[in-house]
Amino acid sequence: MNALLLIDIQNDFMPGGTLAVPEGDAILPLVNRLQPQFELVVATQDWHPAGHGSFASQHPGCRPFEQGELHGLPQTLWPDHCVQGSTGAELHPALSQHRLEAIFRKGTDPAIDSYSAFFDNGHRKSTGLADYLRGRGVRRVYLAGLAADYCVYFSAKDALGKGFGVFFVEDATRAISAEGYQQARHDLAQRGARFITAAQVP
């Protein structure tokens, strides 16, 4: 079975949000059109407590988008975003939600970031998503959402590591950085991910 994974389609990653991905809202009509083509649709939400360690505001003298460190791991420092219960953390109002079977939240531990839908950035704690998908008989995952060079990329990488076939629906994602996405794309292609457009989804 195929599952559609919708990664972090939240207000803060949209134009006007605190960590806006350029043209992030352009994916909305595509992801809504894709959903009825899948038996299983799962979404993720970046869901940080206020004062999360990935926020530049928690690192005196540091600015957003600088490289920092968080408990021994290299960490890009972000503007405050997707704070639990805030409007910015809500799924975008134009995202169709009635077919979402589950929503997996991540980034809740203040001491570690969590880009992937499957694991935290230290690969220490699982979100349970892989077992959930296996339990539903899923063999292949199709990924869409934000941002292509962070959370969609790391989710795709972990899905490959867990043995799923991975299809990256390129026009249903947008990146924070074009160069970052080129590197991510190269890495994923080498690991066996396939890149398709929404029109090519079976």
Q: Which residues are catalytic?
A: 8, 106, 151
**Cβ neighbours of 181 (radius 10 Å):** 20
Distance in Å, CB of 46 to ligand VGL, minimum: 5
**Positive or negative torsion for Cα 20, 24, 28, 31:** negative
Q: Identify what 172 binds: Zn ion, ligand VGL, none; CB under 5 to 8 Å per kind.
A: none
CA angle, 14 then 58 then 73, to 5°? 90
Q: Does 8 bind Zn ion (CB under 5 A)?
A: no
User: Smallest distance, Å, CB 192 to Zn ion?
Assistant: 27
Select from 38-46, 66-74, 92-100, 185-193 the region that touches Zn ion (CB under 5 A).
Answer: 38-46
Nearer to ligand VGL, 161 or 180 (CB): 180
| Least separation in angstroms between CB 149 and Zn ion | 13
Q: Strand order in 194-196's β-sheet?
A: 100-106, 40-46, 2-7, 140-146, 165-174, 194-196
Nearer to ligand VGL, 1 or 187 (CB): 187
Of 42, 40, 5, the C-alpha closest to 137 is 40
| By the rule CB under 5 A, 12 interacts with Zn ion | no
> Which is nearer to Zn ion, 39 or 109 (by Cβ)?
109
- Find which of ligand VGL, Zn ion, none residue 4 binds, CB within 5 to 8 Å per kind: none
- Residue 46 interacting with Zn ion (CB under 5 A): yes
d(CA 116, CA 7): 9
Return d(Cα 35, Cα 172) in angstroms, integer: 12
What residue has token string 């079977």?
A: 101
Residue 151 contact among Zn ion, ligand VGL, none, beta carbon within 5 to 8 Å by kind = ligand VGL
Residues that bind ligand VGL (CB under 6 A): 8, 13, 46, 78, 115, 146-147, 150-151
Q: What's the distance, Cα to Cα, between the start and end of the chain in Å? A: 12
Instruction: Write out the residues near Zn ion by the rule CB under 5 A.
Output: 46, 107
